[in-house]
């Protein structure tokens, strides 16, 4: 079969058209991408080097030094000596570095310190007298304990929003945290104990 590319009398083939329209589409995509970057840059302050940041951590105003790339977890552990949140996965997949920022559970290992200015940061250390850690103890919801601070904070954040949560809701609500020792069943019991008003701390 002759697969020669025959040119129509106009000299402009379907193949030429497709090639041309592909190039136009690619050029259009580049233009809109450039526009998006320019728009994003507008009104954005570019930071470089070490900055002094004023943060609110566990109800206290503190000043820390951080580069734009410094994570909240690094600031908490190495400047403020709050070592409850753990560096486990570095990509938020374990939930071990969970803290609350403005009441929401966030992995401090992937949150930049500079983004936390003006927000309320709460770590597991702020929950020392809370019912959740007391329920974890009562339900024996830890083995090595490495995941426990993250689970405690995630549970408190979840129950603040869902104080009457069912077992199924608790399971779904805590599914961002991983326990390599497999204490999930007792973690669920602990959360449900708090729902029922137990372990008042
Ligand atoms: S208790 Fe060991 S990882 Fe959870």
Predicted local confidence at residue 71, as pLDDT:
97
Least confident of 40-49, 100-109, 119-128, 147-156: 40-49
Residue ID of nearest Cα to ligand 1 atom 4: 179
The preferred substitution site among 154, 179, 186, 188 for testing ligand 1, maximizing ligand atoms within 8 Å of CB, is 179
**CA-closest candidate to residue 97, choices 175, 157, 151:** 151
Concatenate the DSSP letters of all residues of 9-54 into one string.
Answer: TTS--HHHHHHHHHHHHHHHHHHHHHHHHHHHHTTPPPP-S-EEEE
In DSSP terms, 122 is beta-bridged to 100
Predicted local confidence at residue 124, as pLDDT:
98
Answer yes or no: is 9 within a domain.
Answer: no
Pair 132, 120 in one domain: no
Q: Which residue has the higher pLDDT, 15 or 115?
A: 115
Pair 133, 160 in one domain: yes
**Mean pLDDT calculated for residue range 4-33:** 53
Measured in Å, residue 186 CA sits from the centre of ligand 1 at 11
pLDDT tens digits, 77-105: 999 999 999 999 888 899 999 999 999 99
User: Which of 125, 143, 166 is the last residue in one of the domains?
Assistant: 125
Answer yes or no: is 6 within a domain.
Answer: no
Predicted local confidence at residue 143, as pLDDT:
95
pLDDT tens digits, 100-120: 999 999 999 999 999 999 999
Predicted local confidence at residue 5, as pLDDT:
45
The domain tally of the chain equals 3
Predicted local confidence at residue 48, as pLDDT:
80
CA distance 184 to 179: 7
Residues with CB under 6 A from ligand 1: 142-148, 179-181, 183
Answer yes or no: is 31 within a domain.
Answer: yes
Predicted local confidence at residue 69, as pLDDT:
95
- Domain of residue 55 covers 51-125
Measured in Å, residue 85 CA sits from the centre of ligand 1 at 13
Measured in Å, residue 122 CA sits from the centre of ligand 1 at 22
User: Which of 88, 103, 125 is the last residue in one of the domains?
Assistant: 125
Pair 69, 27 in one domain: no
Predicted local confidence at residue 90, as pLDDT:
81
Measured in Å, residue 141 CA sits from the centre of ligand 1 at 9
**Mean pLDDT calculated for residue range 118-144:** 97
């Amino acid at each position: 079969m002759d697969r020669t590319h025959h040119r129509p009398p106009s000299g402009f083939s379907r193949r030429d058209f497709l090639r041309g329209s592909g190039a136009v589409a690619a050029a259009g995509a580049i233009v809109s991408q450039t526009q998006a970057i320019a728009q994003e840059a507008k009104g954005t302050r570019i930071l470089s080097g070490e900055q002094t940041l004023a943060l609110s951590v566990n109800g206290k105003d503190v000043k820390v030094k951080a580069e734009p790339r410094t994570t909240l977890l690094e600031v908490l552990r190495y400047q403020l000596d709050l070592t409850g949140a753990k560096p486990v996965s570095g990509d938020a997949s374990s939930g071990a570095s969970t803290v609350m920022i403005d009441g929401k559970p966030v992995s401090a290992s992937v949150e930049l310190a500079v983004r936390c200015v003006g927000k309320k940061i709460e770590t597991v250390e702020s929950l020392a007298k809370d019912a959740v850690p007391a329920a974890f103890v009562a339900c024996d919801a830890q083995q090595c304990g490495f995941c426990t601070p993250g689970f405690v904070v995630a549970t408190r954040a979840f129950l603040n929003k869902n104080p009457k949560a069912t077992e199924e809701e608790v399971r779904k609500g805590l599914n961002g945290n991983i326990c390599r020792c497999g204490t999930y069943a007792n973690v669920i019991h602990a959360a449900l104990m708090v729902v029922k008003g137990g372990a008042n701390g």
